[in-house]
Chains A and B, each alone.
Chain A
């Protein structure tokens, strides 16, 4: 099964990278958002409880945006594979369906990490200079969020028959999740009700870890007394649950 997982992983990455329009589009969107929002809000807003510029505050948020979109959109390959028959060909091979789940999740996570690292290279330009340890924390957080959302995308793609349905669900679900994760504005300035929603959003905790890795501080969810441990548990647990859900979904028949 290992060979099959590795082969499927390699294929996910190859297909995505060869589709240059998709690759550039997914990368360009966060960078463009970063430049427009960052400079646009630069003079208008200050980040509560921090002297960071908005451009600096937004960079980790843009890394998360790229991770979310790359992870989810990589699983559109499952919908396409079902339409082309590639998925059926994999299903009639003597491999457990878990091999397909793991291959796709590893592939999507790799692509999400690749995008995260490319955007992360901009960090020194806004004064973020994480050390080796900080970088590892940030990469770990991005990888776990990437795995979570690739697995969620896989489970969704398994049930959806067209890529149109996929795009629709994505825009309704993914943008709010991102907006309410502390990537775009911090919890500390949000009204109470909104803050609870943001706390319940698992991505908030991934963002917290990522910020800690890149910025060094704060060592917890801003605006709360929570330390890093709950965030780490939520982020790891979320990835595990999502993969388990994807594996369970893959037991459903494909038509």
Chain B
């Protein structure tokens, strides 16, 4: 059986006036697969989401969902997708059940008959733990509950591809964890297709990226890295060497003069080397280094390296995890000014984000 990919994006390009938002992005999502979309603000994530959801007709390239072309047959694409936007797309004045009944009508479920549509709504409300709030007005729900009600809206018609644009934005840490558990549960249980629904998730949060089968990193409208979280981290090398200091950019510059690949990241200095362990004693002995530690690469490191160009050679347009090769670390170093200059510190904070305490 050769099912078409849940989503196939080919050479997608779009500009708003003179500003290029996407510069040729190619990406496949397999049936049942969850792909995370990482990128700073303005990297093209939202434009890509809008093109896939048929809200935007791109300048060039194609979007195909389950074999249906978004340009030629947007209605067929819309039947196959469920879209969850950055904030709940629900009317505050309607109850949860009324909102879902409206969605059922919009999704064309009326043909199933009133009883079947109602059964689906009840089933989904039960799965999402919303049954006891079904008749509450959306405006009275907490942020987390409103999100889950909105998720129900996006899933009601059993879409083969679910698009989630920063689905946990504005949620407190507990609500975020709960929403992700819900998404995981839906992938296990809520499987209209044999493979389950595919999910494309745009996010800023690295712990969310870790929960994806594969991660795609966008930077300035290009795909700069694509692979499983494990493969992307492995490509960065075994360990990264982090130095604590008083003035990270100054230390990075001094180490650079000493022919080391060092860059300032979030107030610390990251040193890339084939064998960072061998460098540790000498660096720790320096008067301008307060502490030095080896750490396994995290998704934050992957992101920082990707937008710094480390993956540029093999990343865009391939679906295999790109390797950094022998001089990959040098690639990251060449762009260290961009990395520390353009990426918001929150994203490249080298400490792994703990979902509870973040």
Contact of A93 among B76, B107, B110 (CB under 8 A): B107
Q: Are A7 and B89 in contact (CB under 8 A)?
A: no
For residue B351, CB closer than 8 A to chain A, the reply is: no
For residue B88, CB closer than 8 A to chain A, the reply is: yes
What CA separation (Å) do A177 and B316 show in the bound complex?
A: 58
Which residues in chain B, 88-118, are within 8 Å of chain A measured between CB atoms?
Answer: 88-94, 98, 101-108, 110
Contact of B105 among A6, A19, A84 (CB under 8 A): A6
Smallest CB gap from A84: residue in B = B89
Q: Are A7 and B105 in contact (CB under 8 A)?
A: yes
Which residues in chain A, 57-102, are within 8 Å of chain B measured between CB atoms?
Answer: 81, 84-86, 88-96
Which residues of chain A have C-beta atoms less than 8 A from B15's C-beta?
none
For residue B87, CB closer than 8 A to chain A, the reply is: yes
For residue A15, CB closer than 8 A to chain B, the reply is: yes
* CB contact under 8 A between A4 and B85, given known A18-B93, A86-B90: no
Q: Are A93 and B89 in contact (CB under 8 A)?
A: no
Q: Please give the distance in Å from A2's CB to the nearest CB on chain B.
A: 8
* CB contact under 8 A between A11 and B94, given known A89-B153, A94-B75, A94-B79: yes
Q: Are B108 and A94 in contact (CB under 8 A)?
A: yes
For residue B8, CB closer than 8 A to chain A, the reply is: no
What CA separation (Å) do A94 and B78 show in the bound complex?
A: 5
Which residues in chain A, 229-252, are within 8 Å of chain B measured between CB atoms?
Answer: none
For residue A3, CB closer than 8 A to chain B, the reply is: yes
Q: Are A253 and B57 in contact (CB under 8 A)?
A: yes
Which residues in chain A, 2-23, are within 8 Å of chain B measured between CB atoms?
Answer: 2-4, 6-8, 11, 14-15, 18-19
* CB contact under 8 A between A8 and B89, given known A88-B55, A92-B55, A253-B55: no
Q: Are A14 and B94 in contact (CB under 8 A)?
A: yes
Q: Please give the distance in Å from B37's CB to the nearest CB on chain A.
A: 17
What CA separation (Å) do A84 and B106 show in the bound complex?
A: 17
Q: Are A86 and B89 in contact (CB under 8 A)?
A: yes
Which residues of chain A have C-beta atoms less than 8 A from B98's C-beta?
11, 14
Main secondary structure of the interface of A (DSSP, over half): helix
Q: Please give the distance in Å from B316's CB to the nearest CB on chain A.
A: 27
What CA separation (Å) do A253 and B53 show in the bound complex?
A: 13
Which residues of chain A have C-beta atoms less than 8 A from B53's C-beta?
92
For residue B245, CB closer than 8 A to chain A, the reply is: no
* CB contact under 8 A between A14 and B93, given known A88-B55, A89-B153, A94-B78: yes
Q: Are B88 and A85 in contact (CB under 8 A)?
A: yes
Which residues of chain B have C-beta atoms less than 8 A from A8's C-beta?
102, 105-106
Which residues of chain A have C-beta atoms less than 8 A from B93's C-beta?
14-15, 18-19
For residue A254, CB closer than 8 A to chain B, the reply is: yes
Smallest CB gap from A19: residue in B = B93
What CA separation (Å) do A84 and B92 show in the bound complex?
A: 10
* CB contact under 8 A between A4 and B57, given known A11-B94, A89-B153: no
Binary per-residue interface labels of chain A (208-222) against chain B in the complex, 1 for a CB within 8 Å, 0 otherwise = 000000000000000
For residue B13, CB closer than 8 A to chain A, the reply is: no
What CA separation (Å) do A90 and B53 show in the bound complex?
A: 12
Q: Are A92 and B102 in contact (CB under 8 A)?
A: no
Q: Are B87 and A85 in contact (CB under 8 A)?
A: yes
Name the interface size band of chain A. 20 to 34
What CA separation (Å) do A84 and B103 show in the bound complex?
A: 15
Which residues of chain B have C-beta atoms less than 8 A from A95's C-beta?
106, 108
For residue B56, CB closer than 8 A to chain A, the reply is: yes
* CB contact under 8 A between A90 and B85, given known A11-B94, A14-B94, A15-B94: no
What CA separation (Å) do A92 and B93 show in the bound complex?
A: 21
Which residues in chain A, 148-180, are within 8 Å of chain B measured between CB atoms?
Answer: none
What CA separation (Å) do A155 and B339 show in the bound complex?
A: 45
What CA separation (Å) do A96 and B74 show in the bound complex?
A: 10
Q: Are B105 and A86 in contact (CB under 8 A)?
A: no
Q: Please give the distance in Å from B42's CB to the nearest CB on chain A.
A: 16
What CA separation (Å) do A11 and B92 show in the bound complex?
A: 11
Contact of B83 among A4, A11, A14, A92 (CB under 8 A): A92
Which residues of chain A have C-beta atoms less than 8 A from B54's C-beta?
91-92
Q: Are A89 and B56 in contact (CB under 8 A)?
A: no
Q: Please give the distance in Å from B159's CB to the nearest CB on chain A.
A: 10
Q: Please give the distance in Å from B57's CB to the nearest CB on chain A.
A: 7
Q: Please give the distance in Å from B278's CB to the nearest CB on chain A.
A: 53
What CA separation (Å) do A199 and B85 show in the bound complex?
A: 48
What CA separation (Å) do A4 and B110 show in the bound complex?
A: 8
What CA separation (Å) do A42 and B347 show in the bound complex?
A: 71
For residue B81, CB closer than 8 A to chain A, the reply is: yes
Q: Are A93 and B94 in contact (CB under 8 A)?
A: no
Which residues of chain B have C-beta atoms less than 8 A from A84's C-beta?
87, 89-92
What CA separation (Å) do A81 and B94 show in the bound complex?
A: 13
Which residues of chain B have C-beta atoms less than 8 A from A88's C-beta?
55, 83, 85, 89
Query: Can you offer 18 A-B residue contacts whose CB atoms are under 8 A?
Result: A3-B110, A7-B105, A8-B102, A11-B94, A15-B91, A19-B93, A84-B91, A85-B86, A85-B87, A88-B85, A92-B53, A92-B78, A92-B83, A93-B107, A95-B106, A96-B75, A253-B55, A253-B57
A-side residues, CB < 8 A to B, are 2-4, 6-8, 11, 14-15, 18-19, 81, 84-86, 88-96, 253-254
Top 3 nearest A-B pairs by Cβ distance?
A3-B110, A7-B105, A85-B89
B-side residues, CB < 8 A to A, are 53-57, 75-76, 78-79, 81, 83, 85-94, 98, 101-108, 110, 153
